[in-house]
Amino acid sequence: MKAMQICEGVYWVGAIDWNLRNFHGYETEKGSTYNAYLIVDEKITLIDTVKEGFFGEMLERISSVIDPAKIDVIVSNHAEPDHSGCLPQILQVAKNAKVYTAFGAGVKDLSAYYGDLGYTGVKAGEQLCIGKRTLSFVPTPMVHWPDNMVTFMTPENILFSNDAFGQHYASDERLDTECDLPEAYIQARKYYANIVQPYGMQTGKALAACAGLPIRTICPSHGIIWTQHIPDILALYKSWAGGEYDDTAVIVFDTMWHSTEAMAHAIESGFLACGLKPRLYNLHYCHNSDIIADAMTAKYIAVGSPTLNNNMMPSVASFLTYFRGLTGNKKKSIAFGSYGWGGQSPDQVHEALAGCKCEALLPPVRIAYKPTAEQLEKLTAEVTEAVKNSQN
């Protein structure tokens, strides 16, 4: 396995995880990459490492360029183990390497994982000269952990952005000019929604901190490297971090005997009548992380559950728990569901949505057993009226 040269003296030396299908609850149907970067200068520098288990792949790629024992500097932009997992192993090879990480949180987090390996904490604006090149460190806390920072390198003007601008997208192509670009954008959106979304304010600050940098290349720690499409990915991040809405409405439900499903379709008709683009997700078939990616920019969300043993269905509770943890912008919501006798689930869903910063458009909607055509028409009319009122 060989390194991939990005420009003279700068190489991708990471690992491709074709088999990754779950990243702490996030379904990664396209796998991922763990991107590490090697800079050959007076001080040989490694930016981040890779997940434990991929050390051999990284070492082979580094060895295709230089003797790994010659590494002088390791920059750890983020302590999460998908990027720091091979730090102890590379330090056994590069015995004289000095590790730079964010002052405070970076040192604390790396120490918690690996003990004291002799970390040097760097603060905002600190610089490190590695020869012809200079590294500048910019803290980006909560994008995606408290310790995150990015590293900007001159004179090539490369931003090593770690989790920011990344995608869980395994590919043999490394650059945005070579890869399936629409897929890269889909995966960048899904990544933002499932990893970064709750930290929109912090992402906005990070974008502001990087705004003055004359970035020519963005090297994230997952997925493809941005070279020709930097304005596009920056604009997307600005829009997502700003919590901007589109004209979609998401309807998420589970169903036992198709009654709650019929209610979902009645709500769909109400959204359609208001000029919105509804998207339906039956939790039998759809993964939470895919729904979250689509829901991110929707202003309206309806969540339905039949009542099962006095509760909402576990699949709906799972979705709402996941949604609560990732809530970004405020949404307008509808809780609904069918029931036989207890009928508690719409109230429970309503309460859970309130805990997700949602503002209810309607009181919880419940229909016993099988909805009649009249009940469904009434529901459509109520949704239409409530949405129209909310748009005025």
Catalytic residue among 57, 80, 176, 268: 80
**Per CB under 6 A, 78 contacts ligand FEO:** yes
Q: How many chain residues interact with ligand FEO (CB under 6 A)?
A: 9
Q: Return the residue of 82, 109, 147, 261 that touches ligand FEO, per CB under 6 A.
A: 82
Is there a catalytic annotation at residue 180? Answer: no
Q: Which of residues 163-222 bind ligand FEO (CB under 6 A)?
A: 163, 221-222
**Tokens read off for 185:** 């954008």
What is the amino acid identity at position 322? Y
Strand order in the sheet with 73-76: 4-7, 10-12, 37-39, 45-47, 73-76, 98-102, 119-122
Catalytic residue among 26, 37, 169, 191: 191
**Per CB under 6 A, 133 contacts ligand FEO:** no
CB 96 within 8 A of CB 40: no
Is there a catalytic annotation at residue 24? Answer: yes
Of the pair 192, 253, the CB lying nearest ligand FEO is at 192
Does a cis peptide bond (omega within 30 degrees of 0) precede residue 141? no
**Interacting span for ligand FEO (CB under 6 A) from 76-84, 97-105, 245-253, 290-298:** 76-84
Regarding beta strands 158-162 and 217-220, do their DSSP bridges make them parallel or antiparallel, or are they unpaired? Answer: parallel
CB 165 within 8 A of CB 240: no
List, in order, residues 6 or more apart from 369 with CB less than 8 Å away.
259, 338, 339, 340
List, in order, residues 6 or more apart from 249 with CB less than 8 Å away.
271, 276, 277, 278, 279, 298, 299, 300, 301, 302
Closest approach of ligand FEO to the CB of residue 170, in Å: 14
Closest approach of ligand FEO to the CB of residue 78, in Å: 6
**Interacting span for ligand FEO (CB under 6 A) from 79-87, 264-272, 285-293, 368-376:** 79-87
Cα-to-chain-centroid distance, residue 187: 9
Is there a catalytic annotation at residue 78? Answer: yes
**Interacting span for ligand FEO (CB under 6 A) from 61-69, 78-86, 87-95, 251-259:** 78-86
Which of 298-322 are b and which e, b meaning 16 or more Cβ less than 10 Å from the residue's Cβ? Answer: bbbbbbbbbbbeeebbebbbebbeb
Of the pair 50, 335, the CB lying nearest ligand FEO is at 50
**Per CB under 6 A, 109 contacts ligand FEO:** no
What 8-state DSSP symbol labels residue 175?
B
Closest approach of ligand FEO to the CB of residue 280, in Å: 31
Catalytic residue positions? 24, 78, 80, 82, 144, 163, 191, 222
Interface residue list for ligand FEO (CB under 6 A):
78, 80, 82-83, 144-145, 163, 221-222
